[in-house]
Structure 1
Amino acid sequence: MKFLLRKLIRTVLKNWQQFFSVLLMAFLSVLFYTGLEGTWNGMQQSINQYTRESNLADSWVQTTGITNHEFQQIKRLPSVKSVSKTTEISVKAKVDHQVRYVNLSTANASGISKPNLNGNKINQYANGVYLNKEFAQSNHLKKGDFLTFHYQNRKVKLRVVNVMQSPEKMYYTGSADFLSPQRRNYGYGIISQKSLNEKFRYLGPATNLALKNHQTKNTERQIRRILGSKFITLSTRESDPEIATAIDRVTQIRNLSILFSAIFILLSILAMYTTIKRLIDSQQSDIAALRALGYSNRTLTLYYSLYGLVIGVIGTAFGWLMAPILSNFVLKSQEKMFSLPNWQISYTTNSLFVAVLVIAICGFSAMIASRSQQHLSPAEALKGNSSRKSKKIFLESWQRLWHKLPIGNRWAWRDSLGNPVRMLMGIVGVVGGLALIMTGFGTKDSMTHQVNENFGHEFTYTRQLDLNSQNSARTNQRLIQQTHGQALSTLSAAVLPRGRFDRPLTIVCKGKFVHLKTLSHHKVQNGGIYVTQGIAKTAHIKVGDQLQIKPSLTTKSADFKVKGILKSSAVQGLYLTRRTWENHHFKFVPNKILIGKTAQLKSLMADSAVSKIVSMKAQRINAQRMVENLNSIFLLIQAFGILLAVIILYNLGSLSFTERSRNYATFRILGFQRSEIRSLTTSENVAITILGWCLGVPFGFWFLAKYITTFSTNQIVYYPILSMPNLLIATLITVVSSLSTVLLVGRRLKELNMIAATKGVE
């Protein structure tokens, strides 16, 4: 056996290029899945730990105010285990002469959704403010600093008691107008009830409830009945964007690891099996000699199985060693978006199963390849495999064209078509590599398209004015006329019977800034309600269906007919016109005004009726930041797609050269120039590349459409888009990778030993 082991080492060193490609495929297969698993499973463990330690609430209720009697009624509901109430107000603060927006809420002693203070507890009677960590760091605020807040023409100066993180705000954007966190401009804090009453002079009732409960649907119905028109919305961990986005990101990265690892491992199986099989087939005479020397078939099967097992073990070992680097790389990119006290990487036993699978494939491929040679006697095997014959593949009508081809081209095509596995391997390499590269570019294009559609096509305003809820109808009308704007009213509404939780409901006045269109390219018109495509899919809503809508801030409900499905990249919700709304006997109360370019910006900023002004430019930049946060994942997809194409096609060229070295040497002896031999390989590679591209483009678009759905959430739906420049770049990368094998042949032709290559057993 020592002799066989020495032979194994010599064979591996001699054919290191082919073995290295198998090793690399095993390495990348394990690295991609395990590396991404470390990220998503680590995030999941961090979120789960944070949820347990903080006793995160199951659902939240927003109200305009709740009395103690109503609170006790809700507390006694059978489905409610415990409940806490807090009061929240929105204030402004100036830092570095810039306006910042902060939501301040009162502390609660119920033990629900406990903030993280690195082991410390919130002092409910502290004469100061606990600021969230990200806002404080972004504005260079620290413990002991003083911050002045502006609330209803009142200035309140508070000391920063400490910094903290709230489990209810894992993904805090500060405003529904933004898709990614605005840590510098938006923050939140906790103050005592005494500070709220005495310093801010807020003497109203509590506004928010946090519940530990089960049977959410029954709970919502009962709470609506108790609160009546005070009810605004009920959200759960699944529907609250500040929590659901973090959970969705775990799912997105997990789907990425599974989806891409599946296609990568399947392509790796093909490459590893064909590579190892052909390497062992090329040692047919060695197998015959060993059998003639007395080695049994069982011993030879075990020996040649080591070819795959050794390479597989080394490749998976390197994949495991490098996985933490990839895990931390992706994890670091997510830390900029989410607020968690602990970040870690963590792996499951699935990564071990993937590693074992890859090793088993390598070993099994080698074993099957060696067994395929055992039916030959030593004498037959030493003669070489002459059983493969070129098949007549052309019809009579093509023979005249066939004979017009130069003899070299005829040989190249006859040899290629006589090796369908090799040709199939090349086509699969081009298809798989192109699909992955297209998906890498297309995912970013799709998200960028969503940003551009939402902020520039579906909505074309320059700025959005958020109105104070205390405004009178006369004040709101004054602002609309003064700005020549388009008024909107955005509410929360329960959708029955198919809605799982409350959805945004937008009532649109006449104007020139909203351009939403249905799947049949119609605008939002009077006479019915419009549902975005994302909600329509999840709730199985079709045009013509009747929906019962229960809006917030009222006890009334109404039935609306679905007039259209909106193909919208905006936040998923329901839309209808003001006339339709008022025809169902609801009062229209605007809370937003969309305006174009205006010279009245300074006066509007000073107007107490306007609580906030948001520019579309800021919204677009903010949304683009969310796309950029995923750049590392897009780059990974592109890099692995390029590596897949290069490895498979380079390996194909290397194996083809090994198999054809005797033919190449014969051509050289017959007088063919190196450039002529290289052109034979070029024509074959061009044909494989063209065929692979023709199959790869539609497969790539299909794969992109399937993959982009993993990024769609309850808030946003993405549509598959791949720009023409990026399609051309993906094509160019694939073509260059494919034709790189020509350089391999050219380099190795110079080193070809024609005497050794033309030797054979006669």
Structure 2
Amino acid sequence: MFFLFKKMIRSIKQFKFQFLSVVLLAMLSVIIFSGLEGVYYGMKHEFDTFNKDTNLADEWVQATYFTDEDIAKIKQTKGIEDITKRIRITASVSDDSYLILDSNDNTNISSVKVLEGKNYDSNSNNSIWIDPEYAKANKISVGDSISINYNNISVNPVVAGLIMSSERAHFVGSSDYYMPAHENYGYGYMSNDVVNAFNPQGIFNLLEIKSKNSNLKENINEILGERFIAYFNRDTLMDVSFVSNQVDNLKRVSLLFSVLFILLSLLSMRTTIKRLIDAQGADINTLKSLGFSNISLLIYYSMYGLFLSVIGTVLGFILSFPFTKAIQQSQKKIIALPEWPIMHTVNTLIVIMLIIILSVLTSMSAARKTLTGLPAEDKKDKRKHNKTSILEKIPHIWNKFGFGMKWTIRDASYHKTRIILGIISVCGSFMLLMIGFGTPDSINSLTKKSYSDEFTYSYKYTLNPAVDQRSVNELNKELDGQLIETLQARVAFAENDVYHKPITIFSDGDFINLKTVDGEPLSDGGIYITEGMANSVDAKKGDYIEVFPSFSNQTYTFKIAGIIPSSMPQSLYIKDKCFMSSGATFKPTSILSKKYIDFKDDGRISQTISVKHQEDNLIDFSHAISGVFTLMKVIAFILVIIVLYNLGVLSFLERTNEYNTFRVLGFHYDEIRKLASFESILILVFGAILGLPFGFKFLEVYCDTFSNDTIKIYPNILGVNLLIVCTTITICSLIIILLLSMRIRKIDMIKALKE
């Protein structure tokens, strides 16, 4: 067997480019799967550990205030285990910088991890603890004294430490943002004397709850009545749920691409081994004559699959670590965790073993039929060239083809596997490149659609909750604005099917220009729901829904008047007239306007958000995951080069005798080159025909992985980028055709005459 091993090494050197493609495809399969698993499983493990160490709450309830009776009723609710009361305020540090600060007397629930400075102590003197990203962005150090303002009360606490909270893993500060804006929003915790300075009455407005299978979601409105503001659990609090959603997204992507590359590597393996055996017919006959059995030769050729797949998978696993590190850097921009370990499950080993086993079986399958029979029979040419293609059975079509096209079609019918592999590789390249170019285009189109077409304001002014309606109306007149109210509500889309969803109520104005999927503007005829939310709750136009809004103890029923294909925010929309006609009260929380005013000394406004800042935030999100897009482009380029070159070489080797014969018969080199190019062009055309629709569908699936309860990304790719995709693959194909056609000048007419 040592002799056969040496022969295998020589054969691999002889067919190095074909075998290299198999190694690279196996390597890419493992790099993608293992690399992404190292990210998402490490992220999951660290987040789960962080949650356990800090005893993360299971449910959160916000209200204007809580009474002892409220807390007693909540404790009696099925599944409730423990409750902690907190005071949460949003304090301003500067004109556009805010700290969301909590009190924290009970550190048994949702405690914090101190990264620098003193341990958290609510009894400390004049102290706050803030998150490190906000401190870094605003150049704040432990020991610094900062001025914070709330309800026109200013306090100058000392930053006693930098902390990290598990309930703030994806902290963006405002529902108007998708990407963390650390220079504008931070979170932290206050000592009791700071709490008392801002809230001398000691009114608690937040409950953090440990529970197990509770039914608090269904009962909280009845308990709190019009004091209810919002309810969240681990699945709906975006600061927490984003991490698990991102883990699932990366897991789906790893499976999606790994399957594609494993399929291509197996097809390449089969084609390469088949060609190798065809080229070594004389060697096989000699080995059989020397006494080597079919079983030993079958094992020998299966060793190619074993040897190449082991090399590819081992290299892939080693190279997956720098790949993981690169992806982790992008995830760190949107998720905050104490550590970022690289961890794998047994699934990586399973994928590696699966690739190896399938490669061995594929090699054996390719060799089995050829190795059966006696040595004398193997000397016969077993290739069947008497098959008739389907087109040949249609004379009025077949006769219109030239000689070159007829020959190409006949040859393709003899080598279906090679053609299928080529079409799949081109199709796969289209899919990867369309994701690489299309995902940024989709996010950019989302930005334009949301902030240029659907919402045309320049500034969003958040109103001070204490301001009276008269002052709101005066301010709205000054700004020539449009009033909106954003609130949380318990919504029943079907019997016993309850959700807590945001509702946007808006007055007449020029800054909200949403339309339904039918192209109709929003009217007073009912409530409207965004498409992403409708899909998640299985709601449709014409359904009736029950709404129990915050700050109300009444239930209102509305008819869904239409579905809105809007990306963000995902919400229920209703005009103020329709909302108030049901008996509900409209209490604006924000004003949309084109005008800018300095609100620093205006007690009516608590904060201002500019559209420019919102657009920049989405662009930052696109940049945060741009590494993944670049990866898709590089992989697609490698894929099309490797597979098409491999197929071209195999096609050339399989046709060498035909090319020799053509040359002997008087064909010029240019004529033979044209014949050799037909197949590659056909593969390119059919691959593009399949690749464009599949690529767009793949882009749609990929965009869905980044969509969540607050945003829906619709697939989109610019015409110029689609042209770049098509041009890139076409140029790669043409370069390969050119390289292979140059080999035709090496045709050996003597060899053709001998045969």
In the superposition, the TM-score normalised over structure 1's length comes to: 0.94
For structure 1, the 5+ residue unaligned runs are none
**2:659 pairs with 1:642:** no
TM-fit CA distance, 1:77: 3.4
1:244 aligns with 2:255: no
CA distance in 2, matches of 1:89, 1:240: 18
Do the aligned residues in 2 keep the contact of 1:654 with 1:744 (CA within 8 Å)? no
The yes-or-no answer on 1:528 pairing with 2:534 is no
Q: Which residue of 2 aligns with 1:5?
A: 5
Residue 558 of structure 1, aligned match among 556, 559, 565: 556
Structure 1: which amino acid aligns with 2:88?
E
**1:293–1:130 distance in 2 versus 1, CA, 3 Å:** same
Shift of 1:25: 1.3
**SS of residue paired to 2:342:** coil
Indicate the residue corresponding to 1:362 in structure 2: 359
Deviation of the 1:409 alpha carbon:
5.6
- Residues in 2 aligned to 1:399 and 1:735: alpha-carbon distance in whole angstroms: 27
Decide whether the 8 Å contact of 1:490 with 1:504 is kept in 2.
Answer: yes
Q: For the Cα contact (< 8 Å) 2:483–2:591, is it kept in 1? A: yes
Residues in 2 aligned to 1:280 and 1:468: alpha-carbon distance in whole angstroms: 80
Q: CA deviation at 1:201?
A: 5.2
**Counterpart residue number, 2:737:** 742
- Alpha-carbon distance between aligned partners in 2 of 1:208 and 1:321, rounded to the nearest angstrom: 48
Residue correspondence of structure 1 range 585-600 to structure 2 within 5 A: 585-596=583-594, 598=595
Question: Corresponding residue for 1:215?
Answer: 213
Map of 1:232 onto structure 2: 229
Asked if the contact 2:75/2:82 (under 8 Å) is kept, the reply is: yes
1:332 aligned onto 2:329: yes
Q: Partners of 2:423 and 2:239 in 1: how far apart?
A: 45
Aligned to 1:656: 651
CA-CA distance at 1:225 after TM superposition: 2.8
Query: Given residue 312 of structure 1, which amino acid in structure 2 is its aligned partner?
Result: S
Specify the alignment match of 2:62 in structure 1. Answer: 62
- Does the CA contact (< 8 Å) of 2:157 and 2:194 recur in 1? no
**Paired residues of 2:436 and 2:632 also in contact (CA < 8 A):** yes
* Cα drift, residue 448 of structure 1: 2.1
Structure-2 change in CA distance of 1:398 and 1:540 (3 Å): closer
Q: Which residue of 2 is the match for residue 134 of structure 1?
A: 133
Show CA shifts across 1:714-741 (max 9, x none): 1111222222112111111221222232
Alignment of 1:700 with 2:695, yes or no, is yes
Q: Where do 1:125-204 residues align within 5 Å? A: 125-127=123-125, 128-197=127-196, 199-200=197-198, 202-204=200-202
**Contact 2:221-2:490 within 8 A present in 1 as well:** no
User: 1:280-299 residue pairs with structure 2 within 5 A?
Assistant: 280-299=277-296
The 8 Å contact of residues 171 and 241 in structure 1, kept in 2 or not, is answered as yes
Q: 1:408-487 residue pairs with structure 2 within 5 A? A: 410-487=406-483
Shift of 1:500: 4.4
Q: Deviations over 1:527-565 (max 9, x none)?
A: 211111122112121222111100001111111111111
The equivalent residue for 1:108 is 105
1:101–1:378 distance in 2 versus 1, CA, 3 Å: same
Separation (CA, whole Å) in 1 of partners of 2:133 and 2:66: 31
1:729 to 700, 724, 727: 724
CA distance in 1, matches of 2:316, 2:498: 42
**Are 1:539 and 2:534 matched, yes or no?**
no
Deviation, structure 1 residue 209 = 0.5
Alpha-carbon distance in 1 for matches of 2:278, 2:169: 57
Q: Check conservation: 1:169, 1:243, Cα contact below 8 A.
A: yes
Q: Which residue of 2 aligns with 1:26?
A: 26
d(CA) in 2 for partners of 1:76, 1:411: 82
The 2-side partners of 1:123 and 1:639 are apart by 51
Say whether the 8 Å CA contact 2:528–2:561 is kept in structure 1: yes
Q: 1:296 to 1:63 in 2, by over 3 A?
A: same
- Return 173-182 or 677-686, whichever deviates more: 677-686
Deviations 1:497-519 (A, max 9, x none): 44543111111100010011111
Superposed CA RMSD in Å reads 2.0
Distance 1:17 1:230, change over 3 A: same
Letter in 1 for 2:417: V
Q: Give the share of equivalent positions with the same residue, in percent.
A: 35
| SS of residue in 2 equivalent to 1:65 | coil
Q: Aligned partners of 1:558 and 1:412: how far apart in 2?
A: 70
| Superposed CA offset, 1:144-191 (max 9, x none) | 111111223332111110100111111111111111111011111211
Give the corresponding residue for 1:275: 272
* TM superposition shift of 1:193: 2.0
The residue type equivalent to 1:564 in the other structure is: G
Contact residue 146 and residue 157 of structure 1 kept, 8 A: yes
Quote the offset at 1:438 in angstroms.
1.6
1:431 alignment partner, SS class: helix
More displaced 10-residue stretch of structure 1: 442-451 or 319-328 = 442-451
Q: Using the alignment, how far apart are the partners of 1:580 and 1:204 within structure 2?
A: 38
Deviation at 1:233, TM superposition (A): 0.8
TM-score normalized by structure 2?
0.95
Q: Does 32-41 or 680-689 show the bigger shift?
A: 680-689
SS class of match (1:300): helix
Amino acid at match of 1:211: I
What is the alpha-carbon distance in structure 2 between the residues aligned to residue 704 and residue 516 of structure 1? 25
Return the letter of the residue paired with 2:33: Y
Which residues of 2 match residues 261-272 of structure 1 at below 5 A? 261-272=258-269
Q: Measure, in 2, the Cα distance between the counterparts of 1:400 and 1:123.
A: 90
Letter in 1 for 2:270: Y
Deviates more, 1:281-290 or 1:743-752: 743-752
- Write the distance in 2 (CA, Å) between the matches of 1:359 and 1:234: 50
Counterparts in 2 of 1:591-630, with a 5 A limit? 591-596=589-594, 598=595, 601-602=597-598, 604-630=599-625
Using the TM superposition, give the Cα deviation of residue 110 of structure 1 relative to its aligned residue in structure 2, in angstroms: 4.1
Q: CA deviation at 1:412?
A: 4.2
Per-residue deviation, 1:589: 0.8
Q: Secondary structure at the match of 2:206?
A: strand
Q: 1:63/1:376 Cα in 2 relative to 1: closer, same or farther (>3 Å)?
A: same
Give the counterpart letter for 1:126 in structure 2. Answer: S
